[in-house]
Structure 1
Amino acid sequence: MNIDQADPAEPASLRAAFDIDDGGESALGWEAVHAFEADHGIVLPEPYRTFVAEMTDGSCSGPPDYGLLPVADLPGDWGDDERDRDLSKPFPLTEAWMWEEDPDASDDSDEVLEQVYNHGSIVLGTDGCAMNWHLVVTGPHRGHVWLITDVGAVPFGAQFGFTTGESGFAGWVRHWAANKPWHDAA
């Protein structure tokens, strides 16, 4: 997983997974990507950065179940605390945390929980029922995809033991495309 330089082989697999065939019309463009990054004090990890700049900024096809959100959007059921999100502050986790089952959770856990939802990640989209996929943009797990739900958070990728897929945005997309039962049925 290279989060600083796009792999030349990845654009074709990403286009195929998202069924993008609009010549880049749905892409955000480099100027808008640079503006977003400057506004938030971050640099998006590759290959997601190139994906939104050159291919598409959001898609109804592809992962997750309800589609990929544009880079600056949040799921419709997110609530009204959008103003508290700070992408430049580090995402606080480096290992799975199931707070609903954590006997060591304390009053300090609420503060960390707020950071899990609001620091250092963009929301890629939702599988519904408060199951949101995040791409970490700041902190030790920069470039990794996490599933954050109302009961816990887990990193995506074989190295973490929760799936056979590769870590990162491209690995998450490839895993979804390979395991989508209706992928070739249409």
Structure 2
Amino acid sequence: MDTEHADPAVIAELRDALCADDEGKSALGWPGVHAFEAEHGVTLPEPYRTFVAEVSDGSFAGPPDFGLVALAALPSDWGDGRPERVLAKPFPLTAAWLWEEDEEPDEELIDRVFNDGSIVLGTDGCGAYWHLVVTGPHRGQVWMITGEGAAPFGAEFGQGGGEAGFAGWVRHWSAGEPWFE
């Protein structure tokens, strides 16, 4: 997983998998990506960064079930009254955590899991959100975060058979594989 350089073949693969065939008209462009990064104090990981700059800022095709949301957007079921999202703060987890099994889970930490160090890629509904980590040790990895817990996607974490990261996540979805085995 290379989070610093975009491979043109991977970008083409993402374009095909996500049906982003509008010749870049829905893409943010590099000035839009740079403005987002400056506003939030982050550098987006590749290949997602190049994808939103040159190919498409979101996709109705998915993943997840309800499509890939635009970079600065949140899914329609995100809800109101949540704490402020702070992308420049490191994503707080380095391993899966099923907080519903804790007798007294740390609510402040749960809020940080939802709001710090990641962008929301979209939802599978019912409060199940896919996040792309943009800061911290898991930068570039995709995590499923729900009301019950959080887990990184990828075979190396024992969560799904796919390669970790945005491209691996999209490949896994486009192959019709189950998310978690």
TM-score range, shorter chain: over 0.9
Deviations 1:28-60 (A, max 9, x none): 100000000000000000000000000000110
Find the residue that maps to 1:127 and give its secondary structure.
strand
**What is the CA–CA distance in structure 1 between the aligned matches of 2:87 and 2:169, rounded to whole Å?**
21
Task: Name the structure 2 match of 1:160.
Answer: 157
**What is the CA–CA distance in structure 1 between the aligned matches of 2:33 and 2:82, rounded to whole Å?**
20
TM-score in terms of structure 1 length: 0.92
Aligned residues: CA RMSD: 1.4
**What is the CA–CA distance in structure 2 between the aligned matches of 1:100 and 1:83, rounded to whole Å?**
20
Contiguous gaps of at least 5 residues in structure 1: 182-186
TM-score in terms of structure 2 length: 0.94
Pick closer, same or farther for the CA change 1:69–1:33 going to 2, 3 Å. Answer: same
Contiguous gaps of at least 5 residues in structure 2: none
The amino acid that maps onto 2:142 is: V
Pick closer, same or farther for the CA change 1:82–1:23 going to 2, 3 Å. Answer: farther
Tell me how far 1:82 sits from its aligned partner: 5.8
Q: How does 1:13-162 map to 2 (within 5 A)?
A: 13-81=13-81, 84-103=84-103, 105-106=104-105, 109-162=106-159
The amino acid that maps onto 2:97 is: W
**What is the CA–CA distance in structure 1 between the aligned matches of 2:83 and 2:39, rounded to whole Å?**
13
Q: Matched residues, percent identical?
A: 65
Q: Give the length in aligned residue pairs.
A: 178
**What is the CA–CA distance in structure 2 between the aligned matches of 1:78 and 1:160, rounded to whole Å?**
26
2:9 is equivalent to residue 9 of structure 1: yes
The amino acid that maps onto 1:179 is: G
The amino acid that maps onto 2:65 is: D
Q: Which runs of 4+ in 1 moved over 6 A?
A: none
**What is the CA–CA distance in structure 2 between the aligned matches of 1:81 and 1:49, rounded to whole Å?**
29
Find the residue that maps to 2:33 and give its secondary structure.
helix
